[in-house]
Amino acid sequence: MALILNEEQQSLKDIASEFLQSNAPVTHFREIRDTQNELGYDESLWMEMVNLGWSGILIPEEYGGFDFGMVGMGSILEEAGKTLTPSPLFSTGVLGASLLTLGGNDSQKQTYLPQIVDGTLTTALALEESNRHAPYSIDTQAKKNGDQFIISGCKNFVIDGHSSNLLIVAARTEGSVNDESGITLFLVNSDSQGVEITKTSMVDSRNAANIKFSDVTVSSDNILGEENNGASLLEVVLDRAQIAISAEMLGNASQAFNLTLEYLKERKQFGAVIGTFQALQHRAAEMYSELELTKSSVIAACNAVDENSNDLRRMASLAKFKSGETNHLITNEAVQMHGGVGVTDEYDVGLFMKRARVTEQIFGNSEYHIDRYATLSDY
């Protein structure tokens, strides 16, 4: 397994870096945050990303996509993590595209995938119901009524749930809470009667929502994948999602590290540049070493998706664990090395620490994934 990018992948990464640095620097993130943009991202910027083909990276060519693979998507998300770019790329280009590509029937694929590619459709996965990642802890009910289902329940921390056109809802059609069997995925229009969406204010200004379903009627044609077997589709897509968010976290940590190095070279204390202090050099060296290990784990996990590796599940947990640990370490150290100004809004480094705390929790924190890795390894 190659742990470096090939020429095409590196070219995509370079294009993403140049585009995002020019069009979506951290000042763009601040503008979206400070103006309390209702959508949570700039729609014109999103369409530029769509025109670059990013929304179709994981979608097969027969549906208008580019099928460039997870290494390509990971490279883009890494660059987006460096600028804190607000967009529906993760919720739509990764989660929605993967769920529909892997679980959709012919009609669903023909209907929705081209719309994701051309930017007319955005999606959100309504999964979590507790404060921590628990993919099978689902109490939202979908009761069968002829050839229809009636959905009732609540979902928390739905990424981009307030701005998405199409919700992919995990509901229980059989069994009880925590049963892996009996889960079914449904495609639900966000403007359906009985859907109540409340945008939440995250500490890092990431877009999320709480959603309440009150007797929402959907047709059995809107089932994504197999009835009562949604867990098998979720398992595969969550591996992809964990790897994708790990790539974003890698970019987050990389930029926090770069900002810290710049500060160490400029800030003077006791008549000397603080970067000459050996204690700070040792801490920076540790940050660099952990960052390099994280890069290897993330690209190995991305490759595992593209190669359909038998070790994909373990690689996904390894990448999420390592990126979470590294991002936590580096953003903590970055703020500390900046001193008191590190926690002020004037300096960007504090923004990266806030983002790190939220992304650590998305689809399982480091504790969750080290336990999962051990379980998968029969430890």
10-residue stretch averages of pLDDT, the chain, 379 residues long: 84 97 98 94 98 98 96 98 98 98 98 98 97 95 96 97 97 95 98 97 93 98 97 98 98 98 93 93 97 97 96 98 98 95 93 97 97 94
Consecutive H or E run containing 157: strand 148-159
CATH 1.10.540.10 domain locations along the chain:
7-121
- 231-376: what fold? Butyryl-CoA Dehydrogenase, subunit A; domain 3 (1.20.140)
The strand pairing partners of 323, in sequence order, are: none
**Residue type for 352, please?**
F
| pTM for the structure as a whole | 0.97
Q: To which residue do tokens 């070790």 refer?
A: 311
CB-based contact 161:211 (threshold 8 Å) = yes
Tokens 């060519």 correspond to 61
111 three-state secondary structure:
helix
CA neighbours within 13 Å on the CB side: how many for 140?
A: 29
The structure tokens listed for 31 are 């503008």
Half-sphere exposure (Cβ direction) of 290: Cα atoms closer than 13 Å: 23
Q: Are the C-beta atoms of residues 167 and 189 closer than 8 Å to each other? A: yes
DSSP letter at 202?
-
Query: Nearest-CA neighbor of 89 among 126, 127, 123?
Result: 123
Q: Which amino acid is at 87?
A: S
Q: State residue 340's pLDDT score.
A: 85
CATH code of 124-228, in short, is 2.40.110.10
In this structure, which amino acid lies at residue 270? F
Domain with CATH 2.40.110.10 in the chain: 124-228
Give me the torsion for CA of 359, 362, 364, 367, rounded to 10°. Answer: 20
Into which CATH architecture does domain 7-121 fall?
Orthogonal Bundle (1.10)
Pairwise CA distance, residues 95 & 118, whole Å: 16
Query: What backbone phi and psi angles, to 5 degrees, belong to 246?
Result: -65, -35
- The answer to whether 73 touches 250, Cβ cutoff 8 Å, is no
CATH 1.20.140.10 residue ranges of the chain are 231-376
Report the alpha-carbon angle 248-88-70, nearest 5.
50
